Chains A and B, each alone.
Chain A
């Protein structure tokens, strides 16, 4: 397994094409916009070598029997699914931010199960290719970006009916060597600091959309691939230190638009090519695996928000007020509620025909839907407790200013025994963790709330519930 430094150094050996703020970045790894996301992802490598965490962050490969990063592991039991959630919480507690590696992890698990199913029906050999790909990932310990979301254009039209056929990634050529794909993937978490990109369709498809039924793996720096880095609220804070809040790991994962200009993919890296009847199940499996995560990863992030809120309450001298304590209890209650959901959907996991374990889809979707509300409420309470300072604190340059710094130092002091700088740092951490991009990521990551509601209705078995009610009401059904 790679060390943290080996991961960082490996990114510098790539020829990844990254644009940000109108410029092509020569050394994106050390660029202030990207470096925090590299650091966050690097933590997944660092913790795998730490005896305190290796029990969660590593696993034994069912393919080779070797110890591997859990991020390259195919779940072999419900216990594996539970360990994944616990691992995510543990890493989040140390980064306070998204570390981006779970999307590819969920992609390989979804594809492992789905390629098996495709082969059973169509007589293809995608599953063997997928096993080899997983072995490759376990051997190299490469970081994979799971690339599902297409730009989609007119959401009311299917991919093949779009005015611009490139609004969804499609196959434009097939030959003896492989395929050529064209299009783009949007909202690609961690792609610029990954090694590989795992392309997957984003919607269920019909026969007329079969060119869009494509799944494959490409190097992040393959010819024809361009990444355009996304803006985040407060992103220029990354050029500051204290004002960034979480200076080491940033706020959320770095996101990019990944353009695919006629990218060649050799056959051994193609895992779906026209089998449109399996696009829907691949999307659903990936979505459920990814929704499973949020009680773990956002649970850990919420742990940090709770800790920072308790810290600022203490620094402000209000920690003992009963309403403050009660609000902090509510924050913990909400955090553990979403953690409960992730543990529940994991412990209720069951095997797929491929042998890989899959989560309970109802509970995974319930968990994610809860997050879309809980994170806003946890943040709201933190704002309530921390006070208006979150919105008015002067720049770190003012705090450090030779003339007026003393006023910032004097008038933003809380309790007498707490240095102003400590109070300043905690406020910045809270401000950055609970605003803008951080909230939107929790809302839409792994699918928007309506997508979860669709799954909940589908899994809800309403006719059965109606029959139960009718029976108890004494209605005789003929």
Chain B
């Protein structure tokens, strides 16, 4: 099992015409991330990023990705990784996906 802290970053799209309150979603996710074991919240441009949480305000998901071989968890309007999700449940869904990614990388079988 890996004991290294996973580097997790988050970024927003440019919010030209958001379907969700992207800034609120971003703030909530970052706040919740601070309490998750095994991860380190880092700026999105950090080299060696493990997971990038992309928060796009609408399904077009045109947020520019920084370079790097990281895993993505994508909020695109009312969806998480293209699965429909009411805006009030997005944070919880993202954290669930994050746990899945952590477990996958640790070689565990994780069932939600």
Partner of A83, one of B12, B22, B62: B62
Contacts of A57 in B (CB 8 A): 14
Contact of B62 among A51, A53, A86, A89 (CB under 8 A): A86
Q: Is B7 in contact with chain A by the CB < 8 A criterion?
A: no
Most buried by B among A54, A56, A57, A93: A56
B17 at the interface (CB under 8 A from A): yes
User: Given that A83-B62, A86-B62 are known contacts, is A56 also in contact with B26, CB under 8 Å in the complex?
Assistant: no
Chain B interface residue bracket vs A: 10 to 19
Which chain A positions have C-beta within 8 A of B17?
86, 89-90, 93, 303
Cβ-defined partner of B11 (8 Å) among A55, A86, A87, A303: A55
Instruction: Give complex CA distance A332, B49 in Å.
Output: 41
Which of B11, B14, B15 has the largest count of A CB atoms less than 10 A from its CB?
A: B14
A82 at the interface (CB under 8 A from B): yes
Q: Which residues of B contact A52 (CB under 8 A)?
A: 12, 14-15, 22-23, 26
Contacts of B16 in A (CB 8 A): 56, 86-87, 89-90, 93
- The answer to whether B63 has its CB under 8 Å from any CB of chain A is yes
- Does B71 touch A at the CB level, under 8 Å? no
Number of A-B contacts (CB under 8 A): 45
Give CA–CA (A53, B57) in the complex, Å.
Answer: 11
Could you tell me if A55 and B22 are in contact, using CB atoms closer than 8 angstroms?
Answer: no
State A89–B13 Cα separation when bound (angstroms).
Answer: 14
Instruction: Mark out the residues of chain A between 67 and 113 whose CB falls within 8 Å of any chain B CB in the assembled complex.
Output: 79, 82-83, 86-87, 89-90, 93
Counting chain A CB atoms within 10 Å of each CB, the highest count among B11, B15, B23 belongs to B15
Give min CB distance, A379 to chain B, whole Å: 21
Q: Return the contact of B64 from the options A53, A55, A93 (Cβ within 8 A).
A: A55
Q: Report the separation of the CA atoms of residues A25 and B64 in the bound assembly, to the nearest whole angstrom.
A: 44
Residue among A54, A87, A303 with max Cβ neighbours from chain B (10 Å): A54
Q: Are A87 and B14 in contact (CB under 8 A)?
A: yes
Give Cα A59–Cα B23 distance, bound, in whole angstroms. Answer: 20
> B14 — which chain A residues lie within 8 A by C-beta?
52-57, 83, 86-87, 90
Interface residues of B in 1-55 (CB under 8 A from A): 11-17, 22-23, 26
Per DSSP, are chain A's interface residues mostly helix, strand or loop, or mixed? helix
User: Residues of A contacting B11 with CB < 8 Å?
Assistant: 51, 55
Distance in Å from the Cβ of A107 to the closest Cβ of chain B? 23
Instruction: Mark each residue of chain B from 61 to 91: 1 if its CB lies under 8 Å from any CB of chain A, else 0.
Output: 0111000000000000000000000000000
Q: Which partner residue on chain B sits nearest A82 by CB separation?
A: B62
In Å, the complex CA distance between A52 and B14 comes to 6
The chain A residue sitting closest to B56, CB to CB, is A55
Residues of B within 8 A of A86 (CB): 14, 16-17, 62
Question: Closest B-chain residue to A303, C-beta based?
Answer: B17
CA distance A93 to B17 in the complex (A): 9
Q: Given the complex of chains A and B, what is the CA–CA distance between A52 and B22 in angstroms?
A: 8
- Interface 1/0 per residue, A43-70 and B, CB below 8 Å: 0000000011111110000000000000
A134–B11 CA distance with the chains assembled, in angstroms: 28
Chain A residues near B15 (CB, 8 Å)? 52-53, 55-56, 90
Whole-angstrom CA separation of A83 from B62 in the bound complex:
9
Query: When chains A and B are docked, how far (Å) is the Cα of A56 from the Cα of B64?
Result: 9
Which residues of B have CB within 8 Å of A56? 13-16
A103 and B16 CA atoms in complex are apart in Å by: 20
Nearest-neighbour CB distance to chain A for B11, whole angstroms, equals 7
Chain B residues in 8 Å Cβ range of A82: 62
Question: For the complex, what is the distance from the CA of A90 to the CA of B62, rounded to whole Å?
Answer: 14
> Which B residues lie within 8 Å of A87 (CB)?
14, 16
Residue of B nearest to A336 (CB): B17
A55 to B, closest residue via Cβ: B14
Which chain A residues border B23 with CB–CB below 8 Å? 51-52
Question: In the complex, what distance in Å separates the CA atom of A231 from the CA atom of B3?
Answer: 68
Q: How far is the CA of A86 from the CA of B61 in the complex (A)?
A: 12
Chain B neighbourhood of A55, CB < 8 A: 11-15, 63-64
Give the Cβ gap from A413 to chain B, nearest Cβ, in Å: 32
Of all chain A residues, the one with the shortest Cβ separation from B60 is: A86
Task: List, in ascending order, chain B residues with CB within 8 A of A93's CB.
Answer: 16-17
A79 to B22: give the CA distance in the assembly, Å: 22
Bound CA span A93–B15, Å: 11
User: With A and B bound together, what is the CA distance between A57 and B17 in angstroms?
Assistant: 14
Q: How far is the CB of B55 from chain A (nearest CB, A)?
A: 10
For A89, the chain B residues whose CB sits under 8 A away are 16-17
CB distance from B112 to the nearest CB of A (A): 30
Distance between A331 CB and nearest chain B CB, rounded to angstroms? 15
Nearest CB in chain B: distance from A371 CB, A: 18
The residue in chain B whose Cβ has the minimal distance to the Cβ of A59 is B64
Complex CA distance for A89 and B15, rounded to whole angstroms: 10
Q: In whole angstroms, what is the CA distance A53 to B11 when docked?
A: 10
| Shortest distance from the beta carbon of A409 to any chain B beta carbon, whole Å | 34
In the bound complex, CA of A379 to CA of B13 (Å): 31
Task: Tell me, rounded to whole Å, the shortest Cβ–Cβ distance linking A294 to chain B.
Answer: 15
Pull 8 A–B residue pairs with CB atoms less than 8 Å apart, ordered by A.
A52-B12, A54-B14, A55-B11, A55-B14, A56-B14, A56-B15, A86-B17, A87-B16
Binding site for A on B (CB under 8 A): 11-17, 22-23, 26, 62-64
Which 4 A/B pairs are nearest by Cβ-Cβ distance?
A: A56-B14, A86-B16, A55-B14, A90-B16
Apart from the given pairs A56-B15, A87-B16, 12 other A-B contacts in the complex at a CB distance below 8 Å: A51-B26, A52-B12, A52-B14, A52-B22, A52-B23, A53-B14, A53-B15, A55-B11, A55-B12, A55-B63, A86-B62, A90-B16
